[in-house]
Amino acid sequence: MVVDSEGIYPMRPNPRLEDHPAGDPIRSAQTQFNQAYCTLLQQLEQTFNGRPQAFGASMGTMYMLKGKAQSLLQTLDGDENTAGPTFEYVTPELRS
């Protein structure tokens, strides 16, 4: 297998929401990613715990999550690094 090094984003190591102040566009994008990520986890849990019809919705969420991650990875975050998803847990009542 050949790896195209031009396709590798120089993502900031171990990004966290706290890296950016409230209202910062990167923090807002990371928050939206986290909300979608936690929604996906909930949909998959439902799918594998007796609600297989939830799988269709989870596929849509997966594609949405991919787009959000790619957008973050294409956003400069200083020092020639790009932003990245933080994969932080968001409680259900705080998901939009």
The reported pLDDT for the residue numbered 6 is: 87
Contacts of 79 (CB under 8 A, 6+ apart): 12
Rounded to whole angstroms, how far apart are CA atoms 90 and 82? 23
Whole-number Å distance between alpha carbons of 13 and 22: 20
Question: pTM of the predicted model, to two decimals?
Answer: 0.90
Task: Mark residue 89 as left, alpha or beta (left: phi above 0; alpha: psi -120 to 50; beta: remaining).
Answer: beta
Tens of pLDDT, residues 35-87: 999 999 999 999 999 999 999 999 999 999 999 999 999 999 988 999 999 99
The pLDDT assigned to 32 comes to 96
